[in-house]
Amino acid sequence: MRSRYSAYARGLADYVRSSWHPSTLPEGLTLDDNPQWLQLQIIATGTHGNRGYVHFKAYFQVDDDIGVMEEQSHFVREQGRWYYLEGEVVDA
């Protein structure tokens, strides 16, 4: 999760795509409308076999506004590598 956040913060779309499971990867994913990411706060993590989750808050800035995205992300491990499957946005 931290590496994906860092990739978003640095605008590394290729890394974001490579860490996304092919079964759920959006076609034509770009980071063209990416905000300025400010901070990542991990709230909880867990695994069960080859499945895992990360509950986090990511703080961002767009113009003069600060926002927060809270999500529980789901991951799957294949051949020793974790891939992002999907996320459930938590309503504030």
Torsion of CA 45, 69, 24, 3, to 10 degrees: -60
For residues 82-88, average pLDDT: 97
Find the mean pLDDT for residues 63-77.
96
Distances (CA, A) of 16 to 66, 69, 88: 23, 17, 17
- Give the bridge partners for 89, in sequence order: 71
What is the third-level CATH fold of 2-89? Nuclear Transport Factor 2; Chain: A, (3.10.450)
**Residues 45-74: what's their mean pLDDT?**
96
Q: Residue 92 above 70 pLDDT?
A: no
Residue 91: the pLDDT is 80
The domain spans of the chain are: 2-89
Instruction: Decide if pLDDT at 1 tops 80.
Output: no
The 10s digit of each residue's pLDDT in 2-54 is 899 999 999 999 999 999 999 999 999 999 999 999 999 999 999 999 999 99
